[in-house]
Amino acid sequence: MLLQQQLGQRLLLVTALLLAQRCADAAPLQPHIVTIVLDDWGWANWGHHARLVKNQQLQKEVQTPYMDSLAQNGIVLDRLYVHNVCSPSRSAFLTGRNPRHVNLINRPSDMYDPSLSLDGIWGVPAQMTGIAEKLKSAGYATQHVGKWHLGYASDHQMPSARGYDHFFGYLGGGNDHWTYKINKLSKGSCGRSSLDLWHDAAPAADKVPPHACSYASQDGCTYEDALFERQVTGAIDRHAESNATQPLFLSWAPHAVHAPLQPIAAQEAKFDFIDFPARRKYAAVLNDMDRRVGRVVSTLKRNGMWDDTLLVVMADNGGPSLNEGGANNYPLRGEKGFNTDGGVRANAFIAGGFVPQAQRGSVAEGLIGVEDFYATFCTLAGVTPGDKKAAAAGLPPVDSLDMWPYLSGAVEASPRDLVVVSDGHRPQAVIDRLGYKLIVGETSSRVFQQIEPVAASLKQVRLSAGQTWQQVLRCGSQYPPYTGACLFNVFEDPSESNNIAHAHPEVIKRLAKSLDEAQRDTLQRQYGAEPTAPLKSPACLVSEREWGGFEGPWIEYKNSTNPGNTQDARPSLLGL
C-alpha cells in the first residue's frame, strides 16, 4: 500500500510538472489592450451605479449608455482601489507599484535638486520600467493619447522614454479645453500663460487656434477631447491598415471629466434642467465622453480588432463634488483628495471580445489595486512583470498581482488580500478581503452626496438637515499604536457611517500590523524647492526659448541654446 501511495504521488508530481511545462511553452495570448482612464469620474456618475439609486432625477442626469452597455457585456470591477488624486494613481498604473512605492503627490515639474536621490525631481523615477516598455518588448505597438501627468522635467520622463512609440496629449495635470493653456487649477513652468500640448517629441503648435476660444465660441476652435478622439481612432485605423496582426497597446487618458468643465455649448444645453452649474457642465462633459467611447469601440469593430481586444475603462480617483467639480459619489463617503471610499474606490469595468463568454455580464467583487493591471497585462503579453532596472537602482519591486486567472474565471477569488491607501505622505488606511477598513489620522469628508444625491444648488446642500457641507473624520493618531483608529466594514457600510472599532479589537490589531508594515516600507521621496521667481526659473526660460511657450522637458536644455543639446544632463538620467 505504501509503495502504491508513493507511486501515485510521483505520478501526480510528474503530471503537474508536464502541465506546468506546457503552460510555460504555450504562446502568449497577446490581445490588443486599450485602456481608458477617465479623470475625476464620480461613483454615481455612471449609469451602472446611478440605476441603483432610486432617484429619477439622478438617472435623468447621468447619461452613459455606451459605457453601461459595454459593462453589461463585460465584467464590472466592483472593488478597484486607486489613489485619491490623479498622478499617484497613474504612476501606479504605469509601474505596477502601489502609490507609496512610486509617487504620492501631484507636484509641479519645475523643481530640481541633483544632490537629492532620484535627482530631486517629481514624477515617476526614470529607473522604473513602465508598462509600455514591457509590452513593447513583447512586440506590441504602443501609443498614449491624452493626459500624461507623470513628470516631464527630464527627457527621460517623457512618454517616448517610457516605451510609447507615439504620444499626443498634455504633459501636466490639466489645461484649458479650448486654448490648451495651463488653467488655474494646474501649475505650469511660467504660470497660466504656458501652453501644454505635445505630439511625439515636439509641441503641437499646429493644433493651437489662432485666436481666443471658449465653449461658446467654436469657429476655428477644437474641443480637446475631440482632438484626442481623432488621434485614437486614427491610430486604430493606421494600425489595422499597416499590421493588423501585431498586438496594439493604446492608452487613452481623456481630459474628461476634470475641471475646468467647458462643454460644447450645444452639449450643455441638453442638460439645462440641472440648475447647479457645475453639475450641469459635469453631466454634459461626461455624456460627451461616453459617446466618444462608443465611437472608438465602433472603430475597433469596423477594423476587425474588437474580437481580440481587452478594453479597460476606469477612473483615476473619486469625483470632486463641490465648487467647480460637479461630481457625485453617492452613496460613498467623501470625494477626490480624501481616503474615504468616495475618493479611492473607482468606477471600472473590462470589455471586448477577449473577455471569456462565460464571464460576460458578471461583477468581480474581489479586491483589485490599480497597480494590478501591470502584471495582468504582462502575463497576457508573455513577459515577466519583474523590474531589473529598478532593482539595480535599489527601488521597491513591483507590487502588481496577475488578475487574469480571477477575471477569466479560472479561479474564484482575487489573489489580493489587502489594499493600502495613502495620503500625500504615508499610508493612512488598509482594506482587507472581508471588507474591513482601518483608517488612522484625519481626513476631510464632504457630505454633499450623503445629504442629497441630486441637490440642485449649493444653498440646498448647506441647508439640508442643518448640516455643514464638510466634516472631518477624526481617527486618532496616524502613527503607531494608532490610538483612536476608525474601523468600518465597507462591504456592509459603503457610506462609512458606522465606526465599529470598539466591537472588533482583534481586527484593529491585525490591520494595524499591516498598516505599520506599509508605513515602514514607503519610498521616501525628496524634491527640489519650487522656484521663488517662476518667470525667471530655468523651466520657464527653457519653455520660452526652446519650446515656444509650451510646457516641456527642461533639465537637459537649461544651459543650451537649441533643443537637443544635452550637455547639462545628469549622468544618472542619460545612463539609463
Q: What is the pLDDT of residue 108?
A: 85
Q: Is the pLDDT of residue 132 over 80?
A: yes
Instruction: Provide DSSP, 86-115.
Output: HHHHHHHHHHTS-GGGT------S----TT
Q: What is the pLDDT of residue 192?
A: 67
Instruction: Provide DSSP, 461-488.
Output: HHHGGG--SEEEEEES-SSTT-TT-EEE
Residue spans per domain, the chain: 35-104+127-172+223-416, 436-520
Neighbours of 430 (CB within 10 A): 23
Q: What is the pLDDT of residue 450?
A: 45
Q: Please, which residues have CB within 8 angstroms of residue 18's CB and are 6 or more apart in sequence?
A: none
- 142: which strand partners? 249
More confident residue, 183 or 490: 490
Residue recorded with cell 479650448: 178
Measured in degrees and rounded to the nearest 5, phi and psi for residue 48 equal -55, -40
Q: What is the pLDDT of residue 195?
A: 94
User: What's the average model confidence in pLDDT over 219-228?
Assistant: 90
* Angle (CA) 260 144 364, round 5°: 85
Neighbours of 393 (CB within 10 A): 16
Q: What is the chain's Cα-based Rg?
A: 24
Q: Return d(Cα 445, Cα 474) in angstroms, integer.
A: 10
Neighbours of 422 (CB within 10 A): 23
- In one letter, which amino acid is 525? R
Select 35-104+127-172+223-416's CATH number: 3.40.720.10, 3.50.50.60, 1.10.3720.10, 3.40.50.300.
3.40.720.10
* Least confident among 113-122, 165-174, 301-310, 429-438: 113-122
Query: pTM for the full model?
Result: 0.91
Q: CA 361: distance to chain centroid? A: 24
Q: What is the pLDDT of residue 321?
A: 80
| Tens digits of residue pLDDT in 380-411 | 999 999 999 999 999 999 999 999 999 999 99
Measured in degrees and rounded to the nearest 5, phi and psi for residue 502 equal -65, -25
CA max distance for the chain: 89
Q: Return d(Cα 342, Cα 43) in angstroms, integer.
A: 7
Residue recorded with cell 501591470: 374
153 contacts 539 by C-beta, under 8 angstroms? yes
Q: Return d(Cα 100, Cα 84) in angstroms, integer.
A: 12
| Tens digits of residue pLDDT in 71-102 | 999 999 999 999 999 999 999 999 999 999 99
| Tens digits of residue pLDDT in 522-569 | 999 999 998 888 889 999 999 999 999 999 999 999 887 554 443 343
Length of the chain: 576
User: What's the average model confidence in pLDDT over 452-474?
Assistant: 54
- In one letter, which amino acid is 24? A
DSSP-derived letter for residue 502 is G
DSSP-derived letter for residue 41 is -
Q: What are the counts of helices (DSSP H) followed by strands (DSSP E) for the chain?
A: 18, 19
Q: Return d(Cα 223, Cα 387) in angstroms, integer.
A: 39
Q: What is the pLDDT of residue 464?
A: 44
Cis peptide, bond prior to residue 494, ω within 30 of zero:
no
Q: Give the percent of the chain with pLDDT over 90.
A: 74
Strands 348-351 and 75-77: antiparallel
Instruction: Provide DSSP, 360-398.
Output: TTEEE-S-EETTHHHHHHHHHHT-----HHHHHTTPPPP
Nearest alpha carbon to residue 38 among 231, 290, 230, 250: 290
Mean pLDDT of the chain: 88
More confident residue, 470 or 361: 361
State the cell numbers at 127: 529607473
Instruction: Provide DSSP, 185-224.
Output: TS--TTGGG-B--EETTEE-GGGS-SS--BTTB-TT---H
Residue recorded with cell 497585462: 377
Q: Return d(Cα 481, Cα 306) in angstroms, integer.
A: 52
Q: Is 566 helix (H, G, I), strand (E, B) or coil?
A: coil
More confident residue, 132 or 209: 132
Q: Return d(Cα 173, Cα 184) in angstroms, integer.
A: 11
HSE-CB at 544 with a 13 A cutoff on CA atoms is: 11
Nearest alpha carbon to residue 248 among 35, 401, 446, 38: 35
Residue recorded with cell 466618444: 292
